[in-house]
A and B are shown apart, each in its own frame.
Chain A
Amino acid sequence: MALQRHEKVARRKRVAMSLLAILAFAFVFVVAAPLSAADTVKAEVSARNGMVASAQPLASAAGLEILMAGGNAVDAAVASAFALGVVEPNATGLGGEGMMVIYLADKDVTVAIDYRSMSPLADMSKVKFGSTGHVAVAVPGTVAGLCDALQKYGTMSLAEVMAPAIRYARNGFIVSETLAQTIADRFDPISNNEALLKIVAPEGLPLVAGQIIKNPDLAATMEKIAEGGPDVFYRGEIADAIADDMAKNGGYITKADLAAYRAIEREPVRGTYRGYEIVSAPPPVGGISVIEMLNMLENFDLASEAPLSPRNVHIMAEVMKRGFADNSAYVGDPAFTDIPVRGLLDKEYAKSRAAEIDLGKMSPSTKAGTPSEHPSTTHLSVVDRGGNMVALTQTISGFWGACVAVPGTGVILNNEMQNWSSRGPNAYAPGKRMRTTIAPTIIAKNGVPFVTMGTPGAGRIISTMVILAVDLLDYHMGVQEAIESPRFYARDTEKDLSIESRMPAETQAWLKSIGYSIKEYPDFDLFFGGAQAILVDPDTGMMYGGADPRRDGAVFGF
């Protein structure tokens, strides 16, 4: 017993030492210096040769390890994404899905890889989709998406880029306050699933901050994928385990569903904002709405007033409501619905929507517009020394997804089936990909990409992306300052304007006076997501990275 305890303590010390080594490493290779004079909670990080910004320090370290070993931005992004699935298991993982936007400097092209989950092929039209349990799970896309990206655009082997993630899963890592809180918050549904309970409550009670979390089953699963490729997950023994667990627990996913899954390479959506080019993730996700909202905002001179002036917040809230209304009315899986992409991205359409906004009054209700019918949740950003960029957003939908882990595999499954709408372009259909708001985005100036950014945050993703773009492009804030700037969120379907409490009191008072109902959140609240971004100075090539204090975000570079 005493020996076991001694070994446990020694192991914990080794993990703690590893973390310290990583931090020391970061200090040696990274110049942490604020770009602007703004006071920020976290320092903006600068580097010259490569940078990774992700939602968790160990995931950023995984990407940096790959960049320093000579990998490109895609190699590093895939390594960080697999690592995030281990160290941020509440938000992403092999049982989830995502979308990434990749800029390839040597070819000067930008592509999007859609690895959104899809509904099983069985008819589930009579099924009530809850937020937990096996029925809530959609066919996962993460493994297919990351493997496709690596195979097409990476330079390293799957085994090489998965090595850090496998190491973290096997050796364990320290539970942060954020992770501990998500376990406590979801412990009721988690406690109904033995396999998940084994991961987050190995001794019966939920792990708390400071304890070590390990997932050796996931390490073994990833080793099999690293050796055998994605077929292990979609056709081999992991597929068997998923299908078996589904069959035993009333789920619908079969081996045929897994075998039929494909990641899809899509053309990104593109727009402009005040002379900058915006390249973002296409339907069925939210990039189109980010661009539409920016198009509307282009009709107002935001920079003539302070960022959180009453007028500017009102304009942006009204724009958000219109953009969300159009998103609900028109965006869905392009394989199942005709999306008026060009109409939604049309500057004239945006102008007409902007003209609806009364600068002295809140709109009591907002409906979708009529665009002309021309034929359209964790984030990481990576930049390498060759100028390649990746913006990647992944999710298992809600924290801890369906609160279901597949026994023996360590894989935690998503709850994407809750994202269907009762009608419209996002209504359920077998084999269809559900709409979500994720919007990994790259911004270019004169054809040269210089920003990669994104955020998790469910419905707040699109609004946060718009705020980030405005802060960077209208107000020229540094990336860390932009990420930390107070957030707010308005939507056509919600009665309240949600704000972080740091919004100026006079702005809040004026907004109330013109009809807003304000819902106040703490100073930095993860309700508004956890953005990561990297900005490359086009003149000097210097990279500046920011990570969100609302979660455990970290930037490493060299």
Chain B
Amino acid sequence: MNSLISFEKVSREYGSGDSKVFALRDISFDIRKGEFVVILGPSGAGKSTLLNILGGMDQASSGRVCFGDEIVSEYNDSQLTSYRAKRIGFVFQFYNLIPNLTAYENVSLTREINDTSLDPDMTLSDVGLEGRRDHFPAQMSGGEQQRVAIARALNKSPELLLCDEPTGALDSETGVHILSLLQRLSAEQGRTVIVVTHNSKLTQLAGRVIYLRDGQIEKDEINDHPIDAKEVRW
């Protein structure tokens, strides 16, 4: 089994006693290396909680989260920090670029914390932004900003690329470009990509779709024929 991530009966609850609320209840799944996975669910399904646990920003209340051979659910705070720094590439819905750093400098942020960082110029040209190197976020379009964010995530050559509604703040045409870029990265570089979204259109693109509802997995489907992002109709 060459699974990268495995969730074993993972629950996350908030509050205690009568006011206890389950955000996730006994979730189990495995994600293999190189998979392109879409996690889909309406708001309140537990997507964010799942994303937070996957991204090492939150811990499960019970159950086991493994990354490779390591048990992430037993990490302390500083181990989690280094887990985020070394293994996860994060792409945000609102890009979260540092406004007073240029595209190049935003991508270079990873070099401060990750020894295996790549050359930011290379990564920028991978996402097609070599001409925007010295521009500040405010001087770029939303799509360009998201591409900088993807470059920043890729620059530490992460084992997992975690995308939170990556197209949520973009118009459809730009969204297509971003998704196609993610698909290409998955296909060409063999990266594991997880996209968390509430947009069901995205399911057509992924090799695997996990449907989330009320904190539980409703369906876990393999899609043998994912289509190219450019062919998706919005």
| Same complex | no
The chain B residues found within 8 Å of chain A, CB to CB, are: none
